A = this chain, B = another copy of it.
Amino acid sequence: MTNSSPSLPVAPADIDAAARVLAPFAVRTPLLSLPALDERVGAKVFLKPEMLQRTGSFKFRGAFNKLSSIPQAARGGGVVAFSSGNHAQGVAAAAQILNMRATIVMPADAPRSKRERTMGYGAEVVLYDRDREDREAIARRIAGKHGATLVPPYDDPQVIAGQGTVGREIAEDMAALGLTPDIVIAPASGGGLVAGVATAVLSRYPQAVVMSAEPEGFDDHARSLSVGRREAHQAEGRTICDALMASIPGEITFAVNQRLLVRGVTASDAEVGAAVAFVFRELKLVVEPGGAVGLAALLAGRVEARGKTIAIVLSGGNVDADLYARLIA
């Protein structure tokens, strides 16, 4: 397993460059450990709390890196994005910092907190019906009308490189502790985060096993990795992991993930809820359901953890208060 092949769309050097672009604006989130967690799973576990990132999720990293790559001449047209919420906030906040106009196409059933926070960063929000309308088509129409640049949520090398700074920081902090990660787990929707994390971590620790984590049923990465080609999940309902509902891995992200990831793990909504409550009780951090799916898989015994050194990305904390109150009850 290597990620130094020139054929991959994102190289470790791209992530180094993204880290330099992000340094003045992104939070360098710490790497947390918790004796009670280590005892419970019999491993050394480190958590990367991206809810502490600007906008409350890792998505700011990819969005800001992407927007920073737009040539000055094209910035006047602004940006447009489609997103179930966290990417929306990332793009809106990045556009605000860079003084660009942002339009966000968002499902009408996205958590209220995510809509309000997106508007709070000065973006215009256009709602669509998740079951009947095509968000990509709407976003492209807006892009065409305003001359705006479309900012994909995951299937873009600059976005993946930005998210990869999460993995770069994990690797740096592990090195500072004198530790070598055996297993690294990151949530996957379109697969941009885990692709970037895998690229960065494996460039420093080529023996690490990197896994995607998904809600039970919404397991398109687990399936695709297993069969070796992009395959959609079969879920028809909803999951409390509203951030992880993409139906199929991205083309670019899967080109990376197929090469770098070993497998995907999943967790049920009940297991995710238990992980959210665990993080409330033991870590005093607010994690959104989708952000806790990797930890949920670990706590549910889906990862052979004993004796291992494990890093898990908690990818965000944007959750409505009423759902959160129910999950921690």
Using a CB–CB distance below 8 Å, which chain A residues touch chain B? 27, 30, 32, 35-36, 49, 51-52, 54, 56, 113, 120, 277, 280-287, 317-318, 321-322, 324-325, 328-329
Contacts and interface: CB of A to CB of B under 8 A. Distances in A.
A212 to B, nearest CB: 23
A287 B287 CA distance: 14
Contacts of A56: 282, 284
A179 to B, nearest CB: 15
B317 A324 contact: no
A52 B35 contact: no
A136 B144 CA distance: 73
A113 B280 CA distance: 12
A284 B317 CA distance: 6
Contacts of A328: 321, 324-325
Contact of A284 (B32, B51, B325): B51
Chain A interface helix/strand/loop/mixed: helix
Contacts of A321: 277, 280-281, 325, 328-329
Contacts of A325: 321, 324-325, 328-329
Nearest to A280: B286
A59 B172 CA distance: 30
Nearest to A326: B325
Number of chain copies forming the complex: 2
Contacts of A287: 284
Nearest to A29: B30
A122 to B, nearest CB: 12
A208 B90 CA distance: 36
A113 B281 contact: yes
A284 B52 contact: yes
Contacts of A317: 284
B281 A284 contact: no
Contacts of A329: 321-322, 325
A99 to B, nearest CB: 15
Which 7 A-B pairs have CB atoms at the shortest separation, nearest pair first? A284-B317, A325-B325, A51-B284, A284-B286, A321-B328, A30-B30, A56-B284
A86 to B, nearest CB: 12
5 contacts: A30-B30, A52-B283, A113-B281, A286-B286, A325-B329
Contact of A52 (B32, B51, B318): B32
